[in-house]
Amino acid sequence: MKIPKKLFTPIKIGTMEVKNRIVMAPMGTNIAASDGSVTERLINYLAARAKGGVGLIITEITTVDPVAKYMPNTLGAFDDKLIPSWRDLANAVHAYGAKLAPQLIHPGPIATSALTGVQPVGPSAIASPLIREVPREASIEEIEEIVREFGEAARRMKKAGCDGVELHMAHGGHCLVAAFTSPIFNKRADAYGGSLEGRLKFPLEIISSMRAEVGRDFPIIVRISGDELVTDGRSMEETQYMVRILVDAGVDAFHVSAGAYPFIAERVFPPMGTPLGLNAAQAAAIKEVVDVPVMSVGRINNPLIAEHILETGKADLVVIGRALIADPELPKKAATGRLEDIAPCVGCLGCLEGLREGPTCVINPAAGREKEMALTLAEKPKRVLVAGGGPGGLEAARVSALRGHQVTLFEKSDKLGGQLNIACIAPTKQELTLFTKYLSIQVEKAGVKVELGREVTPAVVEELKPDVVIVATGGAPLVPGIPGVDK
């Protein structure tokens, strides 16, 4: 099994040295406190990824304005009172040798009045199709205040012991800074619009404000869409022009994605069936014109794809998101060649569906519940019989065996996988087979006795006399009563 080499070489971002090239992507969790502080649950979640070997963690969206929230429980950097909780997070991450960079944002046109009680603000009075609430056009005084807020936020993050910050200016109307740089949302006729240089004035002032507060030895990363990929959006040529100006202003690295949200959401949240490493070419185009590190994000869900992007010079670091939700130990397993032991992210987007309750993952139910669901050895090992070799039965068998139980699994058909074997037949759904392969290997490694072509009946239970029977026989298909369905 090939062990990725370049993936585990150190790299410097400004004055910050990162131990490897793996960056955890900023992904919303909705488990910050309502006042913007970092909770113990969020610390446990991110510390597990640091412990798993990631080099740099970029936190989820962290607002610089107390009345501009992204979701009900949005992280904040708008008050000195928040510094202690951020310091606790930084210490937890640093304990495993990882670095921490909060992603600073003003949500702008997507900070809805339903969430904040006030009308959102934008570069112009143009609603995001996602929110459909018309924002008010930011006044010059308001722009100056927000610029100051970004500087103060960066100061607080440095004081808390973070290693850098990321400025979110990607995906069109997805946040205020990106909206200012996008011709789709910025129709201003003053100094902050009208030309590419005008649209760039706001982020340049923010970078200057942050630099004035943190000095030159605190890295600033910018997340940016290479090409917005929509009619009237910003082109790659324009972005290449912009990033050189941003470097001169003091930017230390770029985190490159693509698209303008929500017009082309599949580039922001790419589901299964979309190409792996789908933004690598965008990163490569930025890398052509700057001499600072460039990160590529998007469907980088296994270490060999990550290594390929680095080896071919398309990027200097890879940003991995959902694959680190599925398996926080992905880096450690990759570094030791245990690729078959990595729980696969199949791009199902279940993590987006569950955000109301915090991080969720159909592969890793412990995501966001690391403390509560930590695997421990059972005080009294039992004889366990699992009925059914679908994903539920395989996971139950795997976990039971890892807890020290003696486990037997019966599957009445001739192969494992259950209804995943049907689901994976549909176009673009072949990645679901990765889950079956992973679980099949893991139950074998855990010592589960698997018997195919065996059905669990009362007689079987009477014969084997297990202490526990886990019934994981799956659901029956619901066939609609439509005339002709039997044909």
Q: What is the pLDDT of residue 282?
A: 96
User: If pLDDT is split at 50, 70 and 90, which confidence band does 244 have?
Assistant: very high
Pair (327, 421) in one structural domain: no
Pair (253, 134) in one structural domain: yes
Instruction: For 64-79, write each residue's pLDDT tens digit.
Output: 999 998 889 999 999 9
The boundaries of the domain holding residue 231 are: 6-357
Mean pLDDT of the chain: 95
Instruction: For 337-392, write each residue's pLDDT tens digit.
Output: 999 999 999 999 888 876 778 899 999 999 999 999 999 999 999 999 999 999 99
Q: Which of residues 357, 392, 410 is at a domain's end?
A: 357
Handedness of CA 22, 28, 32, 36 (dihedral sign): positive
For residue 159, give Cα distances in angstroms to 84, 164, 470: 9, 11, 51
68 lies in some domain: yes
How many structural domains compose the chain?
2
**415: CATH:** 3.40.50.720
Amino acid identity, residue 411?
E
Bridge partners (DSSP) of residue 224 are 169, 256
Pair (148, 271) in one structural domain: yes
Three-state SS string across 66-114, please?
Answer: CCCCCCCCCEECCCHHHHHHHHHHHHHHHCCCCEEEEEEECCHHHCCHH
Instruction: For 414-462, write each residue's pLDDT tens digit.
Output: 999 999 999 999 999 999 999 999 999 999 999 999 999 999 999 999 9
Q: Which of residues 340, 357, 374 is at a domain's end?
A: 357
Pair (267, 186) in one structural domain: yes
Instruction: For 404-416, write each residue's pLDDT tens digit.
Output: 999 999 999 999 9
Instruction: Answer whether 217's CB lies under 8 Å from 15's CB.
Output: yes
The closest alpha carbon to 389, from 434, 426, 361, 419, belongs to: 419
Pair (43, 175) in one structural domain: yes
Instruction: For 12-37, write each residue's pLDDT tens digit.
Output: 999 999 999 999 999 999 999 999 99
Pair (345, 425) in one structural domain: no
Burial of 366 (0-12, 13-18, 19+ CB in 10 A): middle
Pair (178, 271) in one structural domain: yes
The closest alpha carbon to 441, from 376, 381, 397, belongs to: 397
What proportion of the chain, given as a percentage, has pLDDT over 90? 88
Pair (463, 342) in one structural domain: no
Residues 6+ apart with CB under 8 A from 422: none
Q: Is the pLDDT of residue 1 over 90?
A: no
User: If pLDDT is split at 50, 70 and 90, which confidence band does 269 have?
Assistant: confident
481 lies in some domain: no
Report d(CA 367, CA 361) in Å as an integer.
Answer: 6
Q: What is the pLDDT of residue 112?
A: 87
60 lies in some domain: yes
Cα dihedral 478, 481, 483, 487 in deg (nearest 10):
20
**174: CATH:** 3.20.20.70
52 lies in some domain: yes
Pair (157, 284) in one structural domain: yes
Q: What is the pLDDT of residue 354?
A: 66
Instruction: For 275-308, write each residue's pLDDT tens digit.
Output: 999 999 999 999 999 999 999 999 999 999 999 9
> In this structure, what DSSP letter does residue 118 have?
S
Pair (149, 14) in one structural domain: yes
Residue for token pair 């060999």: 304
Pair (393, 351) in one structural domain: no
94 lies in some domain: yes
477 lies in some domain: no
Q: What is the mean pLDDT of residues 29-57?
A: 97
* pTM of the shown model: 0.95
205 lies in some domain: yes
Instruction: For 131-164, write each residue's pLDDT tens digit.
Output: 889 999 999 999 999 999 999 999 999 999 999 9
The tokens for 390 are: 């679908």
Pair (47, 146) in one structural domain: yes
